[in-house]
Amino acid sequence: MIMKKYFNIIILFVIFFLLSAISISAKIDIGGELTASLINIIDNEGNISAYPQVSLDLELYIPPFDNNQIKSAVYLYTNPTTAQLDFMFKKLYLKHKFEKLHLTLGRQPISWSFGSMLNPVDFTLGAMVMDEETGAKYQNAIEAYIPLNWNTSISAIAAFPEASQDIKWGLRGRTMIEGYDLTLNYVREPEIYFMGTIIPASQRIGFTVKGDLGPIGVYGALGYYFKENDDSDLAYLIGGDYSYFFEAGNKIYFQLEYLSMKKENLSSILGPFFAGNIPNNLNENIGLILGMANYEIDEFSQVNLMTISSVNDGSIIIIPGYRNQLSNNLSLDLSAAIYFGKEDSLFGPTVSEGAQPKPKGMISVGLTYSF
Amino acid sequence: MKKIKGFLLIGIIISILITSLIITTAVEMTAEEIINKRDNNEYFDTAQMEAEMIIVSGNRKIIKTMVALTDKKNSFVEFTNPQDRGTKFLKREDDLWMFFPDAEEIIKISGHMLNQGMMGSDFSYQDVMEADKLTDLYDFKIIGEEEFEGRPCYILEGIAREGVKVSYYRRVSWIDKERFIGLKEELYAESGRVLKETRVNEVQEIEGRWVPINSVMENKLRKDTYTEFIITLIKFNLEIPEETFSLQNLR
């Protein structure tokens, strides 16, 4: 536990020591993204509350030296609940590439994405949701990565979650057979204290596959969740993607997937796209259909439409978006999320007493400057 | 005097014969020989390159910069412009892998994406990262000769070989007769529709071979758009470590 407490301090000390050892001629650079957005939340009475949000992704680019790599990235943002400036270290790690082992020590992104919109077998559930990363991805951890050949590897991770006294750990193997990318992983989640409640320790085994069936990209995942003295859950996901070219040369990209799992694991997988509680009247097993269509208007702009719908109660979230690359460094993003469904359905309005109310919709407009 | 005239006549005849023989040899180069010469000039064992892509649509343009390493079968590309900095691609045969720098994850890209514009450009991933020799992919024949931008050229037509996966069913190439470099190329779908046209604006002799250092790819299906590809630095036949073209090197 002492190691967990002083984890960041140790990492900072090691990094500063190594930085002082680098020749001053090494080319250190700073880059990142500045985003200014206006987010409008529409509640069930039709009232709109708007708040501006400014965020800055700042990364220090330090050239690799002597098989060492240092990465440092900080995310500064206006906290929507306190309206104060807040920050989060996304990366603060040191990686050393030994001959047969890559060791990464420090704050680092850990994601086992394989191209799906939701991932039921990620190292941290909800780390990537609908192609968007979440804060859950960034962990204080030690990762050992062992490459066996150009496409085969084994990695072992020990992470130190802030909400737990214990270590979370995972193993992942990756290989390719007949053009299919295959992974097998295991995660042991420790007991977590969250908002006054204790979430018991759990384990899961996951398997993913991704490849091509003719002109269609296909993928799937199988996850087995289990706890001590508790029911287990077998979750699965299947999906595919396809591109269609119009006569005029424009392209539309489709992605469709189906996820089946127990409702108790669903909220962590949906992450910020799911603001409410899981209604009690739903079946134990929930089926979700996810769809995405992305149409390129020209080289610089595109529109997309994503949907998440519940097979059990017909409720749905529709997420349209528009992106325009205004110049080399400046882009405009418009997006919305509209929730449809009966009362107490998965994505519909909440009526249960004490349950967190869900918004009716959200509209966001933002400008991003890259440097 | 008669003897001198006789020798002169024989000399003229021999000269004509030799000249004709040289001309005939030049004219009678087969399509395979021409394309082999082009392949030998434009393809290499290994290369390291720094380049920029200027994507133009109407009055708007964006610039992307990259470094690339390639050998006979594999390619590795890393983008260096601010917006895409750290985005990496690895292509091994028909498999394409992408590294997302923020999330630090490696995802296998579906096969249908290979024919799509690389990072929004008119060059597809296949166009930029293709490492195969043209003679392995197409059957060529000479269909004419023509001057292009003041340079005498052979015009060759290539039809995709049966069972070989290619992005373009047919390609018509204008190949410089002296430097054996493709100066212009039209790329067609199997339906006969022209999909893209590429033109070389500038060539340079680097390490004994002619290299198209500035070329333009125009998507013929779209109006007012093209992508300029400029090689700012290129080195040939370097020793590239085997692990360069591996998933571990993407991380």
For A247-277, the pLDDT digits (tens) are 666 789 999 999 999 887 887 788 766 655 6
Spell out which residues of chain B touch residue A299, defining contact as CB-CB under 8 Å. 55, 57, 117, 120-122, 225
Name, in order, each residue with C-beta under 8 angstroms of A214's C-beta and a sequence gap of 6 or more.
Answer: none
Q: Which of A44-53, A138-147, B136-145 has the highest mean pLDDT?
A: A138-147
- Look at B222 and A249 and tell me if their CB atoms are within 8 Å: yes
- Give the chain B residue whose CA is nearest to the CA of A215: B112
b or e along A1-29 (b: 16 or more beta carbons within 10 Å of the residue's beta carbon)? Answer: eeebeebeeebbeebeebeeeeeeeeeee
| Structure confidence at residue B20 (pLDDT) | 46
Nearest to A248 among B85, B112, B221 (CB): B221
For residue B102, which residues of chain A lie inside 8 Å, CB to CB? 57, 90, 109, 133
Helix (H) or strand (E) holding B247: helix B247-250
pLDDT-derived band at A280, boundaries 50, 70, 90:
low
pTM of the model: 0.83
* Percentage of chain B lying above the pLDDT 70 cut: 88
Is B160:B138 a contact under the CB 8 Å cutoff?
Answer: yes
Residue contacts between A and B (CB atoms, under 8 Å): 111
Average pLDDT of chain A to the nearest whole number = 86
Q: Mutate which of B74, B80, B102 to test chain A, going by most A C-beta atoms within 10 A?
A: B102
Asked if A194 has any chain B CB less than 8 Å from its own CB, the reply is: no
The answer to whether residue A64 neighbours chain B at the CB level (below 8 Å) is no
Q: In chain B, whose CA is at the least distance from the CA of A296?
A: B120
Is residue A31 within 8 angstroms of chain B, CB to CB?
Answer: yes
Determine whether the interchain pair A212/B116 forms a contact, defined as Cβ–Cβ distance below 8 Å. no
Residue in chain A lying closest to B55 (CA): A299
B31-250 adopts what CATH topology? Answer: outer membrane lipoprotein receptor (LolB), chain A (2.50.20)
- Tell whether the model's pLDDT for residue B111 goes beyond 60: yes
Backbone angles phi, psi at B19, to 5 degrees: -60, -45
- Here the contacts of B27-35 (C-beta below 8 Å, separation 24 or greater) are B29/B154, B30/B142, B31/B140, B31/B141, B31/B142, B31/B156, B32/B135, B32/B140, B34/B140, B34/B142, B34/B154, B34/B156, B34/B175, B34/B180, B35/B134, B35/B135, B35/B138, B35/B140, B35/B156, B35/B158, B35/B175
- Overall average pLDDT of the A45-62 stretch: 88
Residue spans per domain, chain B = 31-250
Q: Which residues of A touch B108 (CB under 8 A)?
A: 114-115, 176, 181, 210-211
Residue A120, by phi and psi: left (phi above 0), alpha (psi -120 to 50) or beta? Answer: alpha
Determine the Cα–Cα distance for residues B32 and A48; give it in Å rounded to an integer.
70
Over residues A73-87, the pLDDT tens digits come to 999 998 877 778 889
Distance from CA of A217 to the nearest CA of B (A): 5
- The answer to whether residue A115 scores a pLDDT higher than 50 is yes
For chain A, how are helix, strand and coil distributed in percent, rounded to 5? 10, 55, 35
Q: Is the pLDDT of residue A2 over 80?
A: no
Which residues of chain A have a CB within 8 Å of the CB of B104? 108-109, 111
A329's tokens: 């460094």
| Site of tokens 């910069």 | B65
Share of chain B above pLDDT 90, in %: 39
Residue B148 or residue A281, greater confidence? B148
Give the residue among B122, B135, B119 at the shortest CA–CA distance from B68: B119
pLDDT tens readout for residues B19-43: 444 444 445 788 888 888 888 777 7
Which residue, B150, B146, B213, is CA-closest to B186? Answer: B146
pLDDT in tens, B185-235: 999 988 888 989 999 999 998 888 888 999 999 988 888 889 999 999 999
Inter-chain contact A327–B113, Cβ cutoff 8 Å?
A: no
Q: Measured in Å, how far apart are chain A's first and last C-alpha atoms?
A: 39
What is the per-residue burial (b if ≥16 Cβ within 10 Å, else e) of B117-146?
A: bbbbbbbbbbbbbbbbbbbebbebebeeee
Kindly list the distances between the CA atom of residue A168 and the CA atoms of A50, A205, B63, in Å, as whole numbers in the listed order. Answer: 38, 14, 43
Do A211 and B116 make contact, defined as CB atoms within 8 angstroms?
no
Q: In this complex, is the C-beta atom of A23 within 8 Å of any C-beta atom belonging to chain B?
A: no
- Residues of chain A contacting B222 with CB distance shorter than 8 Å: 248-250, 298
Give B-chain residues touching A323 at CB under 8 angstroms.
Answer: none
For residue range A320-359, what is the model confidence (pLDDT) as tens digits?
999 999 988 899 999 999 988 887 788 877 655 555 666 7
**How does DSSP classify residue B119?**
G
Q: Report CB contact under 8 Å: A215, B111.
A: yes
* Whole-number percent of chain A with pLDDT over 70: 86
In chain A, the residue whose alpha carbon lies closest to the alpha carbon of B64 is A328
* Contacts with A314 (C-beta within 8 Å, 6 or more apart), sequence order: A341, A342, A345
pLDDT at position B57 is 86
